[in-house]
Amino acid sequence: MMEPLFDKVAVIGLGLIGSSMVRGMKKRDLAATVTGFDGSAEVRARADVLQFCDVIAETAEDAVTGAQLVILAVPVGAMAAAAQSIAPYLADGAIVTDVGSVKAAVVRNVASALPEHASFVPGHPVAGTEYSGPEAGFAELFAGRWCVITPCERSTDASVEKVVALWTALGSTVETMTPEHHDIVLAITSHIPHLIAYNIVGTAADLEDVTQSEVIKFSAGGFRDFTRIAASDPVMWRDVFLNNKDAVLEVLGRFSEDLAALQRMIRWDDGKSLEDHFSRTRAIRRGVIDAGQDTADPDFGRYHGDSD
């Protein structure tokens, strides 16, 4: 039997991502003990019933004491407070990592809150579903998926190696980039798609001439899958937009400009330009398929493979 990667791991935040990491680590014996903590007493109670952690701690102090690795799995806007709450109790040389969907802001807010002896390895598993909470987690959420690591001044080589080993063991492929580059790549591939999905569902709800029951009935025409990502956790996404403001506003500006150009083509009956644009995007779609990054099933990134 292989030695576990860590003796004790603490996971702060037991929602979809945190609880999936615990389940994945326990399933693969990556840690001798996993202690979970959540700021909400109600979530702690639900996690306790589900029994996926070895221990549910009642305080952040109890959770991190003696842990070699501490994983911050809270919304991006709660990262600074979470880092402050664990800082005084971190074991000597402890590694802290996070799973936030925004990286530059997290590096700014978390690194400065941690003691000198600890290292910090910012991370972002590009995985998720539209469900939230400890009940929604599952061990294979990260299998076959990408995880981005964005080393900062507080990341030692040894700590990066350990965190990469963890994600690799959970089934992910790790890619390294700067926090700033991560934030612009994710703005276009994830943040703007979510914003648009949230927006169109709101627009539909406000149309006076179309009933909600009609929207629901005919949603198979394309709308349905927009509602899916618009069901994602509101607090998590509020924090993503507030903390990745510059990249989101930059990409959103381009999106709106491009949309105005399409709108003008429609208004002026410019069929040739419309067809050219639609043909071009179709070619890009083929690129996604050819690169093996998609199957015939739309899945918002769920893992379909066999997990055992």
For the segment 188-217, give every residue that binds its own copies (CB under 8 A): 188-190, 192-207, 209-210, 212-217
Cβ–Cβ under 8 Å, residues 186 and 193: no
**Contact call for residue 218 and its own copies (CB under 8 A):** yes
**Contact call for residue 285 and its own copies (CB under 8 A):** yes
For the chain, give the number of residues.
308
User: For residues 53 and 149, which CB has a smaller minimum distance to its own copies in the complex?
Assistant: 149
Q: Which of 94, 230, 306, 307 binds its own copies (CB under 8 A)?
A: 230
CA separation (Å) from 174 to 7, 168, 266? 23, 7, 43
Buried b (16+ CB within 10 A) or exposed e, 207-227: eeeeeeeebeeeeeeeeeebb
- Binders of its own copies in range 104-143 (CB under 8 A): 126-128, 130
The residue behind tokens 């070699």 is: 68
Instruction: Tell me the site size for its own copies, rule CB under 8 A.
Output: 100
Cβ–Cβ under 8 Å, residues 124 and 150: yes
Contact stretch for its own copies (CB under 8 A) within 32-40, 44-52, 60-68, 275-283: 275-283
- Binders of its own copies in range 5-64 (CB under 8 A): none
Residues 249 and 106: their CA atoms lie apart, in Å, by: 18
β-bridge pairing 146-149 and 123-125: antiparallel
**Contact call for residue 282 and its own copies (CB under 8 A):** yes
Residues 43 and 302: their CA atoms lie apart, in Å, by: 24
- Binders of its own copies in range 240-269 (CB under 8 A): 241-242, 245, 248-249, 251-252, 254-256, 258-260, 262-263, 266-267, 269
Residues in contact with 228: Cβ distance below 8 Å, sequence separation at least 6, in sequence order = 130, 197, 300
- Binders of its own copies in range 141-180 (CB under 8 A): 145-146, 148, 175
User: For residues 23 and 124, which CB has a smaller minimum distance to its own copies in the complex?
Assistant: 124
Nearest to 69 by CA among 41, 38, 103, 94: 94
Contact stretch for its own copies (CB under 8 A) within 38-46, 58-66, 155-163, 274-282: 274-282
**Contact call for residue 301 and its own copies (CB under 8 A):** yes
